[in-house]
Amino acid sequence: MSERKPFKAIATPLVIATSVVTVLTGILMFFDLDRGLNRLAHERISIVFAIAIVLHVWRNWPGFLRVLSNHTGKSLLVLGLLVALLSFVHIDQKSNEPAFIKAPHAILDAPLSKALPVLGLDQASFQQLLAIHKLSISPQDATLREVTLENKMHPLHLIDVLLKQPR
C-alpha cells in the first residue's frame, strides 16, 4: 500500500483537471468553435487524462473493485468499452468533409461535360491531353474518377496534369 502514497496527492486532482480540459475542448470541437490550439490541447491532454485515470484507478484499486462488484458499475464499464470499440467503426462521412475536400470530389464525380469547363478545358483540348499523356477514356462522357480508374492513376495526379496546362 505504501507505493501508492506518492500518487495520493495527484491522482484525483489530475483526473479532474485533465477531464475539464478534455471536456471543454471536446465541446468546442463538437460545435465547430475550436480555434487556435483547442484540437491540439484536446489530443495531448487526453493522453495525460488517460495516464491520470490509470494512476487514479491504481491509487483507488479497492474502491474500483467495489464499484465493479455491483451490476450498475459493471454495466457502465461494459457500455463505455462498447462505445470505445464502436468509435473504431468506419462510417463514410463525405457530407461532413470541409469544402476544400468536397470540391475535388464533386469535380471528379461530375460528367466530363460539366467537369471540364470548371477546369477551363473543352472536350477537344481534354482529348489532346489524354493523347499526350497516353491515357484512354470510354465512354466519352465518363467522369474524371472513371478516367483515373481506367488508367490506374491517382485522381490528384490527373487533376494536377489538367490544371498545369497552359490556357
Query: pLDDT band at 167, cuts 50/70/90?
Result: low
Q: What is the pLDDT of residues 96-145, one digit of tens each?
A: 666 667 777 888 888 888 888 888 888 888 888 888 888 887 777 788 88
> Quick one: pLDDT at residue 16?
94
Which amino acid is located at 108 in the chain? L
Q: What is the pLDDT of residues 36-55, one digit of tens each?
A: 888 899 999 999 999 999 99
pLDDT of 62 higher than 60: yes
Are 103 and 118 spatial neighbours (Cβ–Cβ below 8 Å)? no
Q: What's the mean per-residue pLDDT of the chain? A: 83
Least confident range of 6-10, 120-124, 143-147, 158-162: 6-10
Residue 117 has φ and ψ, to the nearest 5°, of -60, -35
